[in-house]
Structure 1
Amino acid sequence: MKTESLKLRARIKFLICLFIAGLILSGLTAFPLETELFFIRNAAQQLLEPDNPLYLWVDKVYIGLHDTNIHYPFLAYGTDWLAFAHIVIAIIFIGPLKDPVKNIWVIHFGMFACIAVFPLAFIAGEIRDIPFYWRVIDCMFGAIGVIPLMYCDKYIKRIIRIENLKIYQTI
């Protein structure tokens, strides 16, 4: 039984490291938005027709961001905080990396956050005139992110059964 528990803990560590890496990478990409969009726009210009909705959207976003950065550079501070939040949230997952059973609540928090992407994307996206297909792309971050966390939750619960642990639920 101890061997199975160790294998489960190794799987959990791998999945949490993957999740942490995704959060940090996602956060870091929020800093150089204009530069990234410049390259994406140029690639889209080469690969897509000028009337392609995806190209038109990327072009519109780039122009809007570029003009905003020229006239109101302080607004980019908001995406700096977005990046910072991703990195801070990633740090929270060090808890279950060290002790997954004790910190299962962090896994549940992460699962909730991933699922909460959906209403935010569809409600705020509609209000902000974000194209539907782009809202679906945003939702994929939550849909993909929740998968490793669901496995972590499953493995942690199996460890609890194997090791006959008693945990106290606060809710």
Structure 2
Amino acid sequence: MRRIRSLLAIFLSGLVVSGVTSIPLVSEVNALVAMTGAHELDAGPEPRMWAVRLTDIQAALVETSDRFPFLFYGTDWLAFGHLMIALVFVGAWRDPVRNAWLFDYGLIACALVIPWALIFGEVRGVPVWWRLIDCSFGVLGAVPLLLARRLVRQLGESTQKA
């Protein structure tokens, strides 16, 4: 049971952090640009692709925040969605065998991250390398869920035999 809960803690931490960090986007991107020196690396004869993208994102977020701050209400709801999905997994924490279906639900959601990122990234003009980073969240989220699901099945089988 301890290993199942440890794996769930990893998954839930990812959901919570991913959700909560979608609220202060402007200050986070400003800090990231400052920490990486992206402004110095996005200019010159051979600008770094990631630095150009990061400073473009910074400019877009700052302008949007100044002119249309209400648009960030959408990312507030994104955070809420992440937190509510994490809350659902409390059932798996409390009784993983009875709520084993939640692991399948989570794995389906993780799998759907990939086509979602690839399709809507294309629609929104997000570079392929950025979409692959987004896809990696689905893959990384699936790892602890797969391991936990296997342990839950073993626990369920041993409980039935007893």
- TM range, normalised to the smaller chain? over 0.9
- SS of the aligned residue for 2:22 comes to coil
Q: How much does 1:93 deviate? A: 0.7
Counterparts of 2:74 and 2:38, CA distance in 1 = 31
Higher relative contact order, chain-length normalized (CA < 8 Å, sep 6+) = 1
The size of the alignment, in residue pairs, is 157
Q: Name the counterpart of 2:2.
A: 10
Q: How much does 1:45 deviate? A: 2.5
Q: How much does 1:102 deviate? A: 0.8
Q: Does 1:66 align with 2:66?
A: no
Counterparts of 1:132 and 1:42, CA distance in 2 = 25
Counterparts of 1:47 and 1:142, CA distance in 2 = 30
Q: Name the counterpart of 1:40.
A: 32
Q: Name the counterpart of 2:116.
A: 120
Q: Does 1:49 align with 2:41?
A: yes
Q: Which runs of 5+ in 1 are unaligned?
A: 1-8, 166-171
- Greater shift, 16-25 or 43-52, is seen at 43-52
Q: How much does 1:48 deviate? A: 6.6
Counterparts of 2:74 and 2:112, CA distance in 1 = 20
TM-score by length of 2: 0.92
Q: Does 1:80 align with 2:53?
A: no
Which one of the candidate residues 100, 104, 107 is aligned to 2:100? 104
Aligned AA (1:26): S
Q: Does 1:22 align with 2:18?
A: no
Counterparts of 1:130 and 1:38, CA distance in 2 = 20
Q: How much does 1:120 deviate? A: 0.6
- SS of the aligned residue for 1:100 comes to coil
Moved over 3 A (4+): none
2:38 and 2:54 in contact (8 A); partners too: no
What fraction of aligned residue pairs are identical, expressed as a percent?
Answer: 36
- SS of the aligned residue for 1:164 comes to helix
